Structure 1
Amino acid sequence: MQILLIILAVAIAVGTVVYGYKAMKNGKKGSIKKAILTTVSAFGLVMLGAIVSTITGGNVFAETATEAAAAVIPGISLGEGFKYLAASLSTGLATIGTGIAVGTVGSSAVGAVSEDSSILGKTLIFVGMAEGIAIYGMIISILILFV
């Protein structure tokens, strides 16, 4: 049941994108708020149905106890799990920070270069420094995993 609801949600999302593309291509005018409300409400109802179905009907993909016990990898402790969690958080949060920084610095750099094109090299340095945040997060992840 859950799979059917997920397929229906994907169909709603794809149908919305296709309809929106065709409407923009044909120059159709309308209320964007109404279109978003319709799509979000239909998608929300389908997802609500999936949640209710999961809670009341059990998980379709549930394993038996013997299969779950056989799938457990021996030798992985709680500390190992925290190590992987810390590595993923350091990379993920650094990447989010990089996106925010490059968006801000990049838009400012474009505005500054449009006024004075001789400062292009200086603005590229600032954008590169903002991108360095992601590299630092990746280096910390490597250190967490292998040291």
Structure 2
Amino acid sequence: MNIWLGTIPFFLLATVGALLLLKRRRRSGLTVLVGINAAIMAGALILVAAAWNAAPAAASNLQTTTAAATSSGSDSSALIAASIAVAGSSLGAAFAVAYTGSAALAAMSERPEIFGRAMVVVGLAEGIAIYGLIIAIILIGRA
């Protein structure tokens, strides 16, 4: 089981506890929650500082390390480019579908017979995400 899925009950209990604390003691409960949030933020900053200053792991064989580093450099940049292509095209498609979908619904409320033409426009807007996915597949194939 994923560790993040295992923390869901903890967060649900913490949320219920926070709501009960705020319901019973409004002012002092808020002070307690702000203090807990400050402690969690301080712990997170300590972890980030420790990770930032950590030394890289020592490699036992320098030759395999350099070979892996040279091959993973181009692979990682191709994967980053693929993720940017998918993310950018998905965001663009989301905005396009939001605007064209709302305009299509507004037009269909006045004239229901234009349903087919309105859905074609929304489908063309969704095609932007498919283009990004195709570009990502091509980039991953070259990696």
Please, what TM-score do these two structures have when normalized by structure 2? 0.61
Q: Does 1:127 align with 2:119?
A: no
3-state SS of the aligned residue for 1:65? coil
Alpha-carbon shift at residue 66 of structure 1 (Å): 3.9
Are 1:12 and 1:43, in contact at CA under 8 Å, matched by a contact in 2? no
Alpha-carbon shift at residue 136 of structure 1 (Å): 0.3
Alpha-carbon shift at residue 143 of structure 1 (Å): 1.3
2:71 is matched with which residue?
76
Unaligned residue ranges in structure 2 (runs of 5+): 1-6, 20-30
3-state SS of the aligned residue for 2:76? helix
Q: Does 1:110 align with 2:102?
A: no
Are 1:91 and 1:134, in contact at CA under 8 Å, matched by a contact in 2? yes
Amino acid at match of 2:76: G
Deviations 1:82-102 (A, max 9, x none): 111111110111011111111
3-state SS of the aligned residue for 1:76? helix
Alpha-carbon shift at residue 140 of structure 1 (Å): 0.7
Unaligned residue ranges in structure 1 (runs of 5+): 1-6, 20-37
How far, CA to CA, are the matches of 2:115 and 2:137 in structure 1? Answer: 33
Which of residues 73, 91, 98 in structure 2 aligns to 1:96?
91
1:65 is matched with which residue?
57
How far, CA to CA, are the matches of 1:47 and 1:143 in structure 2? Answer: 42
Please, what TM-score do these two structures have when normalized by structure 1? 0.60
Aligned residues, how many?
116
Query: Identity, % of aligned pairs?
Result: 27
1:28 is matched with which residue?
none
- Considering only aligned residues, what root-mean-square deviation do their CA atoms show, in Å? 3.8
2:38 is matched with which residue?
45
Alpha-carbon shift at residue 15 of structure 1 (Å): 1.8
CA distance 1:100–1:43, change in 2 (3 Å) = farther
CA distance 1:126–1:12, change in 2 (3 Å) = same
CA distance 1:142–1:52, change in 2 (3 Å) = closer
2:3 is matched with which residue?
none
